[in-house]
Amino acid sequence: MELSRDYLDEIYAFAVELGKQAGKMLLDGAKLRMGGGGPEEKGHVQKENAVDLVTQTDEDVEAFIKGEVMKKYPSHKFVGEESYSKGSSRDYLIDDSPTWCIDPLDGTVNYIHLFPMFCVSIAFIHNSKPLIGVIHAPFLNQLFSSCYGRGAWLNEHQPLPLVQNPVPPLPVNAPSGCVFSCEWGKDRRDQPDGNLHRKVESFVNMAAEIGGRQGRGGMVHGVRSLGSATLDLAYVAMGAFDIWWEGGCWEWDVAAGIAILQEAGGLITNANPPEDHVTAPIEEVRLGSRLYLAIRPAGPSSTETGRESQERTVREVWRRVRKLDYSRPGA
Amino acid sequence: MELSRDYLDEIYAFAVELGKQAGKMLLDGAKLRMGGGGPEEKGHVQKENAVDLVTQTDEDVEAFIKGEVMKKYPSHKFVGEESYSKGSSRDYLIDDSPTWCIDPLDGTVNYIHLFPMFCVSIAFIHNSKPLIGVIHAPFLNQLFSSCYGRGAWLNEHQPLPLVQNPVPPLPVNAPSGCVFSCEWGKDRRDQPDGNLHRKVESFVNMAAEIGGRQGRGGMVHGVRSLGSATLDLAYVAMGAFDIWWEGGCWEWDVAAGIAILQEAGGLITNANPPEDHVTAPIEEVRLGSRLYLAIRPAGPSSTETGRESQERTVREVWRRVRKLDYSRPGA
């Protein structure tokens, strides 16, 4: 089944509207916990109840989005983080059907602590490819959106990446000069060769001076950790982060971000380095792989195409990172 | 010399206005590099010129603030990051005089890459104590401000910390349950016991599971790195981060943030653990120490005062971190 241009545009407009409303629900939920109004109006939710309130908001936002989608597009499939977590199956649920894949609240820890890096994430997928992405971070007043063939946007008017005419290539000595985005994640087991230690070893390789770490030092320009995979991807699409490397994500964490990144001209591939990182083909990542490496949109230089500078950067990252151990049933 | 309430309030209003205008200058400078307008209007600055443009904006903003301050308060001292960096003296410049201490652009790497976590930072100091702080992150639409005795505010109307009535205590098992903010910094030398490795060892102790790391595992709720010491402090004042631990900052990186944090009820002390971290007194940090540990505002529980829960958290951090090697001539 092919989707017409008009049909896709209609879905896009609908998804953006959903994202705006869902983001407002998140912000309203956050304001319930803030002081400043009368004690009856705001700030009356005690800290011990904050986690319950967050769970409730999370569920309410997913129910709202699911209800609206099912009403407007009853034939589409719906995969939501909350419904999935409560279900008994851990199977991979994305197939070739028109599918909505949403995370009502990404950056849950941030939301609990009222750190502004939280968002709602809405993706529309067809033939297993994310075609539309909407990411709304309401506390930051940032709405990222994209539709296949229509470009990627910040707040509906600013094209992504932010730097255009031309889009700059990756630095010639990347990862040096790059902002590197990574997350510590939830797997904190102190096992000698566990994911925590593999991640940290990789981070240190990327950060250390050139010549350090037995030649693996990448001397990146900066290391950033925001606590939201979705916003990490949005900032790579923006060009603010050059490289994002992460393991352990689920489809709803990344589907909208991948749509936006790809429409902006970014590259997304596998986080785990192949046996031969120098010559292995650089393939588009399969949604569901749980292991992601994203490179920002890049334009040509006098010696390389943008894609060539992205692929060069991928290989330089692969040379410095360890394989992570995450799997996905059924993907 | 004592400053009257009216005089301080007048300085505060002036500093907020300066922060708004300086933030707008930063945003205008960023927009020069963004696409979206006509090629003559916007986005015409090539990537290779971006660093020059950033340096120019940095200097322009400092010159603007210095000019306005010297016009309005010619008797006050002025310490700015840009003028200091260009000067020959590395002496510590804060004394008991009424002094403005400003960083025209904190988060320079973020600004170069157009990642929104950048800001202008303006502090007014008297008797070596930061009394007024203004931090404006214009891409985030966030203006943090405080004046001694007048409270701390987000965007002039939302009191800090965000959660009030009551302000929650620190978790009973802190640092578990806490959001931990830290930075990788610029010292990336791969020396076995250098700052990079001491920092990473400390980060891993804070992050690892309880019981891990020979009992040092802190299992924090999340690890965040934004690339701006100033905004790290603002988010601790907000209550979004529970703990910030960092070495290597200069006075202008932290003066405004310390003013806002303290006015919000937060604690700031030394990053380096004392010999006896269990019983050593927890002293207010000296501006100029370059080593900072900040704890968010905290209210009482049924068993502790807010200050007691903050001090307990300081000792738990000290138990897990290494001493960092940064010094400050003359401080």
Using CA atoms, how far apart are residues B32 and B45, in angstroms rounded to an integer? 7
Determine the average pLDDT of the residues in B162-172. 93
Which of the four pLDDT bands, split at 50, 70 and 90, describes residue A123?
very high
A37 Cβ neighbours under 8 A, 6+ residues apart: A43
Same domain, yes or no: B129 and B237: no
Total of domains in chain A: 2
Please check the confidence at residue A37 and state whether its pLDDT lies above 70.
no
pLDDT of residue B84: 77
Does residue B228 lie in a domain region? yes
The reply to whether residue B162 touches residue A223, judged by beta carbons under 8 angstroms, is no
Using CA atoms, how far apart are residues B183 and A24, in angstroms rounded to an integer? 31
**Residue B78: how many CA atoms within 13 Å on its side-chain side?**
19
Please check the confidence at residue A291 and state whether its pLDDT lies above 60.
yes
pLDDT of residue A110: 97
**What kind and span of H or E run contains A248?**
none
pLDDT of residue B331: 62
pLDDT tens, position by position, B25-42:
999 999 998 876 544 444
The alpha-carbon gap from A165 to the nearest alpha carbon of chain B, in Å, equals 7
The reply to whether residue A207 touches residue B226, judged by beta carbons under 8 angstroms, is no
Q: Do β-strands B267-269 and B222-224 pair in parallel, antiparallel, or remain unpaired?
A: unpaired
Using CA atoms, how far apart are residues A85 and A103, in angstroms rounded to an integer? 11
The alpha-carbon gap from B269 to the nearest alpha carbon of chain A, in Å, equals 22
The alpha-carbon gap from B213 to the nearest alpha carbon of chain A, in Å, equals 7
Same domain, yes or no: B150 and B186: no
CATH number, domain of B48, equals 3.30.540.10
HEC string for chain B = CCCCHHHHHHHHHHHHHHHHHHHHHHHHHHHCCCCCCCCCCCCCCCHHHHHHHHHHHHHHHHHHHHHHHHHHCCCCEEEEHHHHHHCCCCCCCCCCCCEEEEEEEECHHHHHHCCCCCEEEEEEEECCEEEEEEEEEHHHCEEEEEECCCEEEECCCEECCCCCCCCCCCCCCCCECCEEECCCCCCCCCCCCCHHHHHHHHHHHHHCCCCHHHHCCCCECEEEECCCHHHHHHHHHHCCCCEEEEECCCHHHHHHHHHHHHHHCCEEECCCCCCCCCCCCCCCCCCCCCEEEEECCCCCCCCCCHHHHHHHHHHHHHCCCCCCCCCCCCC
Same domain, yes or no: B201 and B304: yes
Does residue A129 lie in a domain region? yes
Which of the four pLDDT bands, split at 50, 70 and 90, describes residue A48?
low
The reply to whether residue B184 touches residue A222, judged by beta carbons under 8 angstroms, is yes
Q: Which of these, A323, A47, A110, A158, lies nearest to B299 by C-alpha position?
A: A47
pLDDT of residue B40: 45
The reply to whether residue A47 touches residue B235, judged by beta carbons under 8 angstroms, is no
Same domain, yes or no: A208 and A154: no
Find the range with the poorest average confidence among A53-62, A197-206, A309-318.
A53-62
Same domain, yes or no: A136 and A194: no
Which of the four pLDDT bands, split at 50, 70 and 90, describes residue B91?
confident
The reply to whether residue A36 touches residue B158, judged by beta carbons under 8 angstroms, is yes
Q: Which residues of A are less than 8 Å from B46 in CB distance?
A: 168
Identify the burial level of B192 via C-beta atoms within 10 angstroms of its C-beta, where 0-12 means exposed, 13-18 middle and 19 or more buried: exposed
CATH number, domain of B228, equals 3.40.190.80
Q: What angle separates helix B229-238 from helix B251-264, to the nearest 10 degrees?
A: 0
The residue with tokens 């001209």 is A265
Q: Which of these, A306, A318, A302, lies nearest to A267 by C-alpha position?
A: A306
Q: A224: helix, coil or strand?
A: strand
Does residue B114 lie in a domain region? yes
The reply to whether residue A140 touches residue B33, judged by beta carbons under 8 angstroms, is no
Using CA atoms, how far apart are residues B284 and B271, in angstroms rounded to an integer? 11
Range of the domain at B101: 5-159
Using CA atoms, how far apart are residues A137 and A105, in angstroms rounded to an integer? 10
Using CA atoms, how far apart are residues B196 and B189, in angstroms rounded to an integer? 7
Q: Which residue of A has its CA nearest to B298?
A: A47
Top mean-pLDDT range of A77-91, B30-44, B208-222, B279-293? B208-222
pLDDT of residue A46: 54
The values of phi and psi at residue B125, to 5°, are -120, 140
The values of phi and psi at residue A224, to 5°, are -125, 140
Same domain, yes or no: B12 and B99: yes
Please check the confidence at residue B88 and state whether its pLDDT lies above 90.
no
Determine the average pLDDT of the residues in A213-220. 97
Q: Which residues of B are less than 8 Å from A161 in CB distance?
A: 35
Determine the average pLDDT of the residues in B278-299. 93
Q: Which residue of B has its CA nearest to A152?
A: B36
pLDDT of residue A88: 67
Using CA atoms, how far apart are residues B78 and A312, in angstroms rounded to an integer? 47
Which of the four pLDDT bands, split at 50, 70 and 90, describes residue B48?
low
Same domain, yes or no: A155 and A189: no
How far CA A271 is from CA of A279, B125, B319, in Å, comes to: 16, 48, 34
Chains A, B: CB pairs < 8 Å: 171
The values of phi and psi at residue A123, to 5°, are -125, 145
**Of residues A113, A213, A219, nearest to B179 (C-beta):** A113
pLDDT of residue A82: 77
Give the number of other CB atoms < 10 A from CB of residue A52.
11
> Percent of chain B beyond pLDDT 70?
94
Does residue B39 lie in a domain region? yes
Determine the average pLDDT of the residues in B190-204. 96
The reply to whether residue A114 touches residue B158, judged by beta carbons under 8 angstroms, is no
Does residue A30 lie in a domain region? yes
How far CA B40 is from CA of A21, A165, B36, B44, B242, in Å, comes to: 36, 11, 11, 7, 46
pLDDT tens, position by position, A233-289:
999 999 999 999 999 999 999 999 999 999 999 999 999 999 999 999 999 988 888
Partner residues linked to B152 by β-bridges: B146
Please check the confidence at residue A195 and state whether its pLDDT lies above 90.
yes
Does residue B174 lie in a domain region? no
Q: Which of residues A296 and B94 earns the better pLDDT score?
A: A296
pLDDT of residue B267: 98
Determine contact, residues B313/B236, Cβ cutoff 8 Å: no
Determine contact, residues A311/A73, Cβ cutoff 8 Å: no
Inter-residue long-range contacts of A70-79, CB under 8 Å, 24+ positions, other chains counted: A72/A14, A73/A11, A73/A98, A73/A100, A76/A100, A78/A102, A79/A251, A79/A252
Same domain, yes or no: B237 and B295: yes
Which of the four pLDDT bands, split at 50, 70 and 90, describes residue A94?
confident
The residue with tokens 């990327």 is A206
Which of the four pLDDT bands, split at 50, 70 and 90, describes residue B45?
low
Does residue B107 lie in a domain region? yes
The reply to whether residue A113 touches residue B239, judged by beta carbons under 8 angstroms, is yes
The alpha-carbon gap from A168 to the nearest alpha carbon of chain B, in Å, equals 6
Same domain, yes or no: A155 and A9: yes
> Mean pLDDT for chain B?
93
pLDDT of residue B39: 44
Sign, CA dihedral B106-B110-B116-B117, equals negative
> Mean pLDDT for chain A?
93
How far CA B80 is from CA of B28, B86, B141, B300, in Å, comes to: 21, 10, 24, 38
Please check the confidence at residue A39 and state whether its pLDDT lies above 60.
no
Please give the distance of CA B31 from its chain centroid, rounded to a whole number.
25
- Tally of residues, chain A: 331
Assembly ipTM: 0.95
Same domain, yes or no: A268 and A154: no
Does residue A64 lie in a domain region? yes
- Structure tokens belonging to residue B304: 């502790």
Determine the average pLDDT of the residues in A105-112. 96
Please check the confidence at residue A330 and state whether its pLDDT lies above 60.
yes
pLDDT of residue B46: 54
Same domain, yes or no: B187 and B105: no
The alpha-carbon gap from B264 to the nearest alpha carbon of chain A, in Å, equals 13
The reply to whether residue A222 touches residue B109, judged by beta carbons under 8 angstroms, is yes
Same domain, yes or no: A155 and A32: yes
Q: To 5 degrees, how large is the angle CA B238–CA B84–CA B55? A: 75
Determine the average pLDDT of the residues in A141-156. 98
